[in-house]
Amino acid sequence: MDGSVTVITNPTVSVRVSSTVSSFEVNRRFNRGITIAEFKSKLELIVGTPAAFMDLELFSTSDKLLQKLDNNEALLGSYPVDDDCRIHVGIDSSLTPHGEFTDLSKVEKFEISDEAYEKRADSIRNFKKNMKLGRFNEENRAKQEEALAKKEEEEKVAAEDIAVGNRCKVQVPGQPTKIGTVMFVGTADFKPGYWVGVKYDEPLGKNDGSVNGKRYFECEPKYGVFVKPLSVTVGDFPEEDYGLDEM
């Protein structure tokens, strides 16, 4: 052996592609041996911007701007493009009118009446009908309606055992248990079903007893909340003493 070292470079590179016409990034792998012109042609299918109007910028893996990819004859691999770098596809404003590819008001829209759409055999709606998906699955829909009616009955029964003035604890899945006083029980305008209005002992709520301009009970801001009856347990829950009178 002559002691020489051979450096092998991966012929392809995986990069993140972003653009001014979309808020999403996509990951794609490209051959380092293609020219920037060829690279732009491939990007057309990803971002929808014509290659002639592209303005490419190369960012590092930490999203630091490195340089522009402005030589169409150069190879992609001649630039410091590494795996997980980001290439941003902008629009060269000097070549196209402002907003040419972002102003959706200029896009011609296809409209069809609901009656005409109903008759089409190649529509998503017809596909769902044939496959009995979603609202077209009468058996599943009947089960969902039955389950909803059962839960509403359970909420009604639970609400009947809760009275204004009861001390209670509120246990909502994914949230810590909170203690307060029942201030309202019944139906409300903001959502269907039965609701319990609670004034928490601490400012852990969402309102002051009013929702959408309608008042259901009185309390200080951030102390009030509305929860479903099944989340409420009434009992002897004394208000905690935080020692504010013991200085």
Question: CB neighbours of 12 closer than 8 A, spacing ≥ 6?
Answer: 29, 30, 31, 32
Lowest model confidence (mean pLDDT) among 5-14, 87-96, 174-183: 5-14
Average pLDDT over residues 194-201: 96
* pLDDT grade for 133, boundaries at 50, 70 and 90: confident
Task: Count Cβ neighbours within 10 Å for each residue of 225-243 and write b for 16 or more, e otherwise.
Answer: bbbbbebbeeeebeeeeee
User: pLDDT (tens digit, 9 = 90+) per residue, 135-160?
Assistant: 777 777 788 888 888 988 999 999 99
Q: How far apart are CA 25 and CA 89, in angstroms?
A: 11
What's the CA angle centered on 205, arms 203 and 209, to 5 degrees? 105
Average pLDDT over residues 240-246: 52
Question: CB neighbours of 98 closer than 8 A, spacing ≥ 6?
Answer: none
Question: Percentage of the chain with pLDDT > 70?
Answer: 86
Q: How far apart are CA 128 and CA 117, in angstroms?
A: 13
On whether the CB atoms of residues 226 and 188 are closer than 8 A, the answer is yes
Count of Cβ atoms closer than 10 Å to residue 159 Cβ: 20
Q: How far apart are CA 125 and CA 104, in angstroms?
A: 26
Q: Reply yes or no on whether the pLDDT at 187 is more than 90.
A: yes
pLDDT score at 140:
78
On whether the CB atoms of residues 183 and 175 are closer than 8 A, the answer is no
Task: Report the candidate in 110, 129, 109, 134 with the shortest Cα–Cα distance to residue 119.
Answer: 129
User: pLDDT (tens digit, 9 = 90+) per residue, 70-125?
Assistant: 999 999 999 999 999 999 998 866 554 545 555 556 666 778 788 888 888 888 88
> How does the average pLDDT of the chain come out, rounded?
85
Task: Write down the pTM of the prediction.
Answer: 0.46
Q: Reply yes or no on whether the pLDDT at 8 is more than 60.
A: no
Does residue 182 or residue 136 have the better pLDDT?
182
Sign (positive or negative) of CA dihedral 139, 140, 141, 142:
positive
The domains located in the chain, with CATH, are 12-91 (3.10.20.90), 160-234 (2.30.30.190)
Specify the pairing of strand 178-187 against strand 194-200.
antiparallel
Task: Report the candidate in 148, 164, 174, 187 with the shortest Cα–Cα distance to residue 231.
Answer: 174
Q: Reply yes or no on whether the pLDDT at 245 is more than 90.
A: no
pLDDT score at 170:
96
* pLDDT grade for 7, boundaries at 50, 70 and 90: very low
Average pLDDT over residues 125-135: 78
Average pLDDT over residues 43-55: 87
